[in-house]
């Protein structure tokens, strides 16, 4: 069952939660904007359902909300940032601003980040670059949840990649995808709804296909074995090794290049099995289009490219070919009019957070 809530009230509530940690108004807005943007785009696995994770991590000393990111190394068009175990959304926002500034000055801005936390949806930062008429790329590594091809141990994160590109007439191209078959949040959604997962999403402790989300989530939480499969699925028949390779690329750019953590070192157990800040890494690249081709030419050609795809022959029984981002843009328009659907359990969790933080709670 879903409960419809208004966008503004949800934004204001989440912002109020972060303000209780003495964040600035801008910082609290960024954190709220990031989470609500995910829900508005229909990516509920990365929306306000994640708020409890941040609240708990702050309480456990894994996230330090008042610590600011610092520049470790810098050139005119690159930077390496230490997130100082702060809120990933704030680290990501400030790092993206640096990439944007450098791209506007030099044509390209590349920023890699270490020692951060979960930063929400990758597309939030690609969209920041898009709003500045730049071509934007955002990536992050994450907790090891994905088994490599032919493996049965979680060694890689879902390691998402996002790329946003401006257009003239069409909606912007907006890719935001995990390099795994699905993100962990999708398993959690299926588990909350009591659904059976499709074959090809996950494997059990023996490395064999498993469709029970509760079992897989339990195995993952207790490190019993198994996990999510790379994009493409099990083995080589459906090219799961390609998703595995993409995940490694993200780890190289986010973890190795930043001098941070990668693979199963992200969200490490720490000394004596005690939790420690996860040392998540990010990667941001902003490209000034005019340094490659006239902006008008680029956007015209983007429209032509997307039009060619959309107007191409449809499969039998299908009447539309979607471009990446279209469904999400349409969700935004729908939810702005009708309200955002939140699962009942998520709504109840927000109510509990409101009580803990001594906040009023009214989202409808």
Determine how many CB atoms are found less than 10 A away from the CB of residue 101.
15
The side-by-side arrangement of strands in the sheet containing 78-82 is 70-74, 78-82, 108-116, 280-287, 135-140, 161-165, 173-177
| Mean pLDDT across 190-204 | 92
Mean pLDDT across 158-167: 97
Please state, in angstroms and rounded to a whole number, the distance separating the CA atoms of residues 160 and 99.
19
- Is residue 281 a contact partner of residue 156, using CB atoms and an 8 Å limit? no
Choose among 139, 162, 164, 22: nearest CA to 88: 139
Furthest C-alpha separation in the chain? 59
The Cα 243–Cα 237 span in angstroms is 13
Beginning with the edge strand found earlier in the chain, give each strand of the sheet holding 227-228 in spatial order: 209-210, 202-203, 227-228
Mean pLDDT of all residues in the chain? 96
**Domains detected in the chain:** 1-60+339-364 (1.10.1530.10), 68-181+237-293+301-311+318-324 (3.30.1370.60), 184-228 (3.30.60.50)
Please, are residues 178 and 193 in contact by the beta-carbon 8 Å criterion? no
Nearest to 229 by CA among 149, 162, 155, 161: 149
Place of tokens 């588990």: 191
Query: Distance between CA atoms of 245 and 26, rounded to whole angstroms?
Result: 37
Say if residue 185's pLDDT is above 90: no
**What are the tokens at 246?**
């993409």
Tokens of 20: 């209780």
**Contact (CB, 8 A) for 14 and 36:** yes
End-to-end alpha carbon distance in the chain: 16
pLDDT, one tens digit per residue, over 36-59 is 999 999 999 899 999 999 999 999
Percent of the chain with pLDDT over 90: 91
Give the DSSP H/E element, type plus range, for residue 60.
none
CA–CA separation, 87 and 19 (whole Å): 13
CA 58, distance to chain mean position in Å, is 19
pLDDT tens-digit readout, 311-338: 999 999 999 999 999 999 999 999 999 9
Burial class (CB in 10 A: 0-12, 13-18, 19+), 207: middle
Mean pLDDT of 3-22: 98
DSSP 222: T
Q: Give the model's pLDDT for residue 49.
A: 94
Question: Cα(138)–Cα(293) distance, rounded to whole angstroms?
Answer: 22
Confidence band of 274 (pLDDT split at 50, 70, 90): low
Which has the closest alpha carbon to 52: 348, 277, 359?
348
Summarize the confidence of residues 110-118 as an average pLDDT: 98
Tokens of 268: 């490490």
- Give yes or no for a contact between 183 and 45, defined as CB atoms under 8 angstroms apart: yes
DSSP β-ladder status, 108-116 and 78-82: parallel
Task: Give pLDDT, residue 270.
Answer: 63
Sign (positive or negative) of CA dihedral 176, 112, 188, 182: positive
Query: Rounded to an integer, what distance in angstroms lies between the CA atom of residue 268 and that of residue 309?
Result: 43
**310 touches 179 (CB < 8 A):** no
Q: What is the pLDDT of residue 272?
A: 54
pLDDT in tens, 334-355: 999 999 999 999 999 999 999 9
């Amino acid at each position: 069952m879903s409960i419809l809530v208004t966008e503004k009230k949800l934004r204001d509530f989440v912002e109020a939660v972060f303000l209780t940690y003495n964040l600035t108004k801008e910082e609290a807005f960024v954190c709220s904007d990031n989470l609500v943007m995910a829900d508005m785009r229909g990516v509920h696995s990365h929306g306000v359902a994640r708020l409890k994770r941040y609240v708990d991590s702050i309480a456990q000393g894994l996230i330090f909300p008042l610590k600011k990111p610092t520049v470790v190394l810098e050139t005119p068009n690159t930077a390496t940032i230490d997130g100082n175990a702060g809120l990933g959304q704030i680290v990501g926002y400030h790092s993206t601003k640096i990439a944007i500034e450098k791209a506007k000055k030099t044509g390209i801005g590349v920023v890699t980040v270490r020692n951060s936390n979960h930063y929400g949806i990758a597309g939030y930062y690609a969209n920041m670059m898009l709003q500045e008429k730049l071509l934007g790329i955002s990536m992050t590594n994450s907790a090891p949840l994905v088994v490599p091809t032919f493996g049965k141990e979680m060694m890689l994160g879902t390691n998402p990649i996002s790329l946003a590109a401006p257009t003239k007439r069409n909606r912007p191209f907006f890719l935001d995808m995990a390099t795994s078959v699905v993100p962990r949040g999708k398993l959690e959604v299926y588990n909350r709804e009591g659904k059976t997962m499709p074959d090809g999403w996950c494997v059990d402790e023996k490395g064999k296909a498993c469709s029970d989300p509760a079992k897989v989530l339990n195995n993952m939480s207790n490190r019993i074995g198994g996990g999510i499969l790379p994009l493409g699925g099990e083995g080589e028949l459906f090219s799961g090794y390609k998703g595995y390779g993409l995940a490694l690329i993200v780890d190289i750019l986010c973890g190795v290049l930043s001098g941070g953590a990668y693979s199963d070192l992200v969200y490490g157990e720490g000394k004596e099995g005690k939790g420690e800040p996860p040392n998540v890494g990010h990667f941001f690249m902003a490209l000034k289009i005019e340094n490659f081709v006239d902006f008008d030419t680029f956007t015209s050609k983007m429209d032509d490219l997307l039009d060619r795809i959309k107007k191409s022959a449809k499969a039998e029984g299908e009447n539309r070919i979607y471009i990446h981002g279209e469904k999400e843009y349409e969700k935004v328009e729908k939810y702005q009019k009708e309200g955002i659907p939140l699962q009942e359990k998520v709504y109840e969790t927000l109510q509990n957070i409101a009580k803990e933080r001594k906040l009023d709670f009214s989202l409808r």
